[in-house]
Chain A
Amino acid sequence: MFEQLMQDSLLALPILGWAGLGILLVCLQIFCPRPKISLIASVIGLVALISYSTVNFVSVPTAIFFGTAVIDANAQFFNLLGLIIALFTVLTMIPGMNNEHSKVFRLSYEQFPEFLICLLFSGFGLGVLASAIDLTSLFLGLETLSIGIYCLCGFYRTEIRSTESAFKYLMIGAFSTAIFLYGIAFIYGASGATHYSVILETFKTGVSPLASLGILFLLAGFAFKLAFVPFHLYTADVYEGAPTPVTGFMATIVKVGVIAAALRIFWGFLQPAFHFWEPFWVALCLVSILVGNIAALQQRSIKKLLAFSSISHGGFLGLGLLVANPEGGNLFPLAAYITIYSAMSLGVFALISHLENREHIFSVEDLRGLGNKKFFLSLIFALFVLGLAGIPPFAGFMIKFWILQALVQQNYMTVALIAVVGSIIGAAYYLRILMLMFMSTEEGAAAQWPLSKDRALSLRFVVAVTALITLLGGIRPSLYADWILHALALK
């Protein structure tokens, strides 16, 4: 048994590596507690894990740890995506290390190693989620991911918004976990097993009312995490208060994790009950797209605006899940959407963390006239905004297009139409940002806040990579599509 465990651990190295790196950092705190050392160690570790994961691609799906986890293409792809997201988040957080930049960061500077440890462990939760084929791993992975992020949100302890964000997310997250667990318990009760394949066999013979209720609670739990309407009320305050790189982390990695887990469930043991849960899920997605965009029209704070925009993107992701039928080979739209969406979100939040002044709430009006003062920065900001809005010819359009194509192909015409109406509504607030930046002669606050004096090479790297993907990803999908198709073993 021990050899079996060793073998499994070796296969699961990209996932265990997160936890190993975290424990390494914990041990490092005993000998060498300086934040810079921890930072270097975590960056090197993440890069090593990314390279290892890219080079060692396990092509045969292997169940490990006695069938509670599986290493297949999906698991490796989403884990790799999570690794890249974590690396970019760490790189975005680096400029704060130079004490001149952020007064708030300076107060929490010594806690930075703990920050990195929490980040790595929550990434471990993502790895567990991506590889979970058992209800226990599913729940534990989701919990690990969430708890880490609760801690990360409250990193700026002296700032009340950050504490508010952590507290709100903790409360709502705990509540949603309880509901999720309730659903898991019912499904276990109805099927008598925790392993997905066994549950599938049970459900094939019939889905009892108990199981249906469990499925609903499970969907509700997923909807909480994906911030679907009407479970989205925490999103605005949580995204607003958290440190901006953490907001980028939250907005992307939680969605990656939930998508990875839900993919296995929806097209796994929930497939026999498809006609039961499909109307609920479609309704949730469409309402999220519509309400997310309509609510964003009213927002004055830019992080809240992006929070609502991410709610509507979550709706599109949910629709992508709907059409990700493995038999139909339609996994590509979903994977492309989550990749490009993560890139754009990380980029835009990196830019905001560069521009912002945490003593004030970053209002959209503050962007007024930024195009006159800092033209190149505004141009990149405009690029991300146009990408998030889904305006051709940037990558943000292609991903929406592929999902709409998949929807039409599977005869969800009305759904596609409503999704499109939501996007139309969404264009207005994105355009307002562009308008304020370029078409205004006055100068808002953002043009006057001093940017950090340091080189911020890491942040420029993140912004450059994500901007390039957004700019060229529409015209040249081979930039990312090759990797996605190869990693998901779709070709």
Chain B
Amino acid sequence: MEIQQILFFSFAALILLSAALVALRPRPIESAMWLILNFFLTAGLYILLGSNFVSIIQVLVYAGAIMVLFVFVILLLNLDPREFGSEAGLPWTSLVMFIGFLTFIVLSLHVATPELMKKLPEIKETGAGVFGSIESISMVLLKNYVWGFEIAGVILLLALIGVGLLAYRKPPVRARAIHTSTTDTMKDGGAS
């Protein structure tokens, strides 16, 4: 089997395993960690497909922004650690995580080395006609698929407002007493 197939199957197996563990583990922080690993491995899959730009964006946006937000929310929930039971299996999970991250880092490092480059798809540098480069992606995104791009923006706006609809709570009374204007409460809460 070629190195590509070995990498693909190991990434795929680890992706499925980590996705399953997100749901199966009792502690939210651990689930978040597994999800982060999942995203890193998916980024590895993107590299195998030859789109380096998308892979870095995957790490930056998903693992870097979204998961950070998730972790913040979980920390803010102030959950009682005693609710989750024992920490059984923690050494094994740490080991698997270590192997996963190691694989990704090794792969990224090897992308830069010429020997492996011959066996991976041709990753040229930048350029508008090149598959996977920033120029080509932005040309397609903002020209051919501009409609989809804008709709994605609308979805994000909708999600934001929907979250506000579902989750907004008025601040408690004693906090409001500090503000001077108490007549129009909507101004404080609605638009922020």
Contact flag (A, B; Cβ within 8 A): yes
B148 in the interface (beta carbon within 8 A) = yes
B177 in the interface (beta carbon within 8 A) = no
Contact between B158 and A68, CB atoms less than 8 A apart: no
- Nearest-neighbour CB distance to chain A for B27, whole angstroms, equals 21
Report which of A23, A65, A115, A166 forms a contact with B147, defined as CB distance below 8 A. Answer: A65
A156 to B165, CA, bound (A): 10
Contact between B161 and A110, CB atoms less than 8 A apart: no
Beta-carbon contacts of A1-35 to B below 8 Å, as 1s and 0s?
10001000000000000010011001001100110
Q: A143-B155, A154-B166 are in contact. Are A66 and B191 (CB under 8 A)?
A: no
A5 closest partner in B (C-beta): B146
Contact between B187 and A33, CB atoms less than 8 A apart: yes
Report which of A30, A33, A34, A128 forms a contact with B151, defined as CB distance below 8 A. Answer: A128
- Nearest-neighbour CB distance to chain A for B153, whole angstroms, equals 9
Q: Main SS of chain B's interface residues? A: helix
Q: Could you tell me how many residues of chain B have their Cβ less than 8 Å away from some Cβ of chain A?
A: 25
B9 in the interface (beta carbon within 8 A) = no
- Nearest-neighbour CB distance to chain B for A68, whole angstroms, equals 5
Contact between A111 and B165, CB atoms less than 8 A apart: yes
User: A34 to chain B: which residues have CB within 8 Å?
Assistant: 186
User: B148 to chain A: which residues have CB within 8 Å?
Assistant: 68, 134, 136-137, 140
Q: Main SS of chain A's interface residues? A: helix
User: B84 to chain A: which residues have CB within 8 Å?
Assistant: none
Contact between B155 and A111, CB atoms less than 8 A apart: no
Contact between B146 and A66, CB atoms less than 8 A apart: yes
A117 closest partner in B (C-beta): B161
A64 to B191, CA, bound (A): 35
B140 closest partner in A (C-beta): A66
Counting from the closest, the 8 A-B pairs by CB-CB distance are A151-B162, A65-B147, A114-B165, A136-B148, A121-B158, A140-B151, A33-B186, A68-B147
Binding site for B on A (CB under 8 A): 1, 5, 19, 22-23, 26, 29-30, 33-34, 64-69, 110-111, 113-115, 117-118, 121-122, 124-125, 128, 134, 136-137, 140-141, 143-144, 147-148, 150-151, 154-155, 157, 166
Binding site for A on B (CB under 8 A): 143-148, 151-152, 154-155, 157-159, 161-166, 168, 186-187, 189-191
